[in-house]
Each structure stands twice: as C-alpha cells, then as structure tokens.
Amino acid sequence: MSTHIGAPEGAIAPYVLMPGDPYRARWIAETFLEDAVQYNDVRGMLGYTGTYKGVRISAQGSGMGQPSMAIYAYELFDSYDVEAIVRVGTCGALSETVKVRDVIIGMTASTDSAMNRARFGDVTFAPSADFELLHNAYKAAQAQNLPAVVGGLYSSDQFYSPRPEIAKELAKYGVLGVEMEASALYTLAAQFGKKALAVCTVSDHLITGEETSAQERQETFDDMMVMALDAIVEMDKNRA
C-alpha cells in the first residue's frame, strides 16, 4: 500500500524518470511522452505515465532532498514494482575537470546524510548506480555528442551548507558534483534489488562561480532527458 502516491495498480510504468520538481515531471510528460496520463497529485507531487519510442515510462516528482526522495522511491519500488528509476536533475560542479552545462552520470553517491547510518551503524555503505543504466546513458550521450562525464556525486542534506570545506575536500578525492538525492535513491535500489541512476546537468560551478541562465538550463536539460530516455529504451530492448 502506498501512502504518498495515489495511483491505482498498473498505472505506473516499470521505468520512472524522477526530477525533484513535480512541475518538471509534468513538463517531461508534455514534452517527451506520448498519450501521457496523470496518475498522481497527492501533496502536489505530480506523476504521469506515457510512452517514448514505444516503451511505457512514467515521470514522477521526488521533492527536494533525500528524505523526500526516499519516500517516493520506496513506494515506487515496494508498492508499484517499478524496475528502474533514473533521477534527472541539476548539480553544482566541484571539480575544474567539469564544466557548466556538462552532464554528470553518477557512478557513486557519497553523502553527509544520517539515513544510512541508521541502517548500517558503524559501517559506511557505498551506494552506487546500476551499471547497465550507466553504460546505456553514456552510450546515449556519445550518440548525441552531449558533454557527459562519469564519476562520483555528493548528496548533501543541506543546500546552504555551513561547512563548504567538506565539498572541497571531496573534490580532492575525485567527486565531481553536489546534489541532494542520489545516495538515497541508490541505497533503496540496492535494498529492493532494483536499478537506479542519477544524471545531473551542471547548472553552476562552485569553483569558478559560473552559472547557467534559465534558458541554457532548459536546453541542456532537454538533451539530458533524451539521453536518459534512450538509456531506458535500450535497457528495455535487452529484455525483449
């Protein structure tokens, strides 16, 4: 039984794209999915199901931060038997090797959240992406000539961090970008034996201070969305 998603059985596709913003989920449905139907508006967290290149796919908002992401990802995996979730969002760059408007395909997701400490105690669990989804996304990016890099993300519980030096230290260890949801998503996918990936467009750079305009974010997000959708289509094809 789902508490926060009011969809009837069968209304949600096996594959779900998850932006943080519920209005972004609506935009995905209107822009990329054919015959999209809204299945959820509980608490304003919109969800839609349609088709892309003949594959049934849903778009579901997750809200901001890992606790919110965890609620929706848990219910999708547990109550609706979703097979794969791809987070599609933005991030801040931590490394000079990454540029604004690049797309980071998150191989791993470090975090300052206490959520996994509640699960594992003194053990530091290392959440990671599903390799098939990651590989498909990278191939799709290459096919589009989209500037994409594979590497680690940092999922922070605080947008306005009182300790910015932590991000700088993580950058020394090769972490490429900071966002707020991937670690919880990867952990839940591992719990349920499902697939997950986070792909994030770099919207601002914490080192150089460069930022994208709203129009630039939109255009780059379009490219990233096609990359994520094509990665799902390729995975579905391999199951046929």
Place of tokens 């935009």: 27
Distances in whole angstroms, Cα of residue 229 to Cα of each of 22, 118, 127, 153: 18, 33, 23, 21
pLDDT-derived band at 80 (thresholds 50, 70, 90) equals very high
How many beta carbons lie within 10 A of that of residue 126, not counting itself? Answer: 13
Q: Kindly report, residue by residue over 21-66, the tens digit of the pLDDT.
A: 999 999 999 999 999 999 999 999 999 999 999 999 999 999 999 9
pLDDT tens for residues 120-149?
999 999 999 999 999 999 999 999 999 999
Tell me if residue 88 falls in helix, strand or coil: strand
Cβ atoms of residues 89 and 189 within 8 Å = no
> Residue 36's domain spans which residues?
15-239
Distance CA 93, CA 28 (A): 24
Active-site residue, from 78, 204, 223, 230 = 204
Catalytic residue list contains 122: no
Task: Please tell me the total count of domains within the chain.
Answer: 1
Say if 1 falls within a structural domain.
no
Residue 20: inside a domain: yes
78 found inside a domain:
yes
The amino acid at 160 = Y
Q: pTM of the prediction?
A: 0.95
- What lies within 8 Å, CB to CB, of 207 at 6+ separation is 93, 94, 95, 96, 171
| 8 occurs within a structural domain | no
Considering the domain boundaries, does residue 105 fall inside one? yes
Please state, in angstroms and rounded to a whole number, the distance separating the CA atoms of residues 110 and 10: 34
* Nearest Cα residue to 146 out of 154, 138, 155: 138
Question: What CATH number did the domain enclosing 54 receive?
Answer: 3.40.50.1580
Is 157 domain-assigned?
yes
Asked if the structure places residue 52 within a domain, the reply is: yes
141 is a domain residue? yes
